[in-house]
């Protein structure tokens, strides 16, 4: 990263807008990264924003239907499929996919749901959730890889 002094006579510190990544109007410095890498970061951030919003909607919607953590299972399996499908992409759009799947899938919520099931005496639910997440996740990733080929 290159740190440059802000030119307070303009709204933008950089004269070249296509390389502008982050600009803090109320701070003394801005952080820049030029070239394709800045676009990759932006794609990643965009994917993450979409992924976290979609995960929130799916998990909360399915939570109202059942006590079983179907929302967490759904996002983890679908995220595995998307990663399998896009894992060989080497273009900038891969960063969109990785940002999306990185926040869409949720290892921590998966473990928290299993822990909650175990603490509430629902051992069968915890076991079913664990087996189904790993089995369906691997199967979904494999299907994504096969469809990609």
pLDDT digits (tens, 9 = 90+) for 56-114: 999 999 988 888 889 999 999 999 999 999 887 777 777 888 889 888 998 888 999 99
The pair of three-digit structure tokens given for residue 22, joined into one six-digit string: 């982050």
Residue-wise pLDDT tens digits, 25-64: 333 333 334 456 677 788 888 988 999 999 999 999 998 8
pTM recorded for the entire structure: 0.70
- Around 92, how many Cα atoms within 13 Å sit in the side-chain half-sphere? 11
């Amino acid at each position: 990263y290159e740190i440059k002094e802000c030119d307070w006579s303009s709204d933008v510190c950089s004269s070249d807008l296509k390389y502008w990544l982050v600009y803090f109007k109320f701070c003394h410095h801005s952080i820049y990264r030029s070239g394709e890498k800045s676009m990759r970061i932006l794609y990643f951030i965009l994917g993450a924003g979409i992924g976290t919003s979609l995960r929130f909607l799916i998990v909360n919607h399915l939570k109202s239907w059942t006590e079983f953590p179907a929302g967490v299972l759904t996002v983890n399996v679908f995220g595995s499929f998307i990663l399998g499908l896009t894992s060989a992409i080497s273009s900038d759009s891969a960063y969109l996919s990785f940002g999306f799947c990185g926040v869409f899938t949720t290892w921590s919520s998966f473990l928290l749901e299993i822990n909650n099931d175990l603490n509430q005496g629902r051992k069968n639910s915890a076991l079913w959730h664990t087996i189904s997440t790993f089995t369906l996740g691997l199967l979904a990733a494999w299907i994504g890889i096969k469809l990609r080929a």
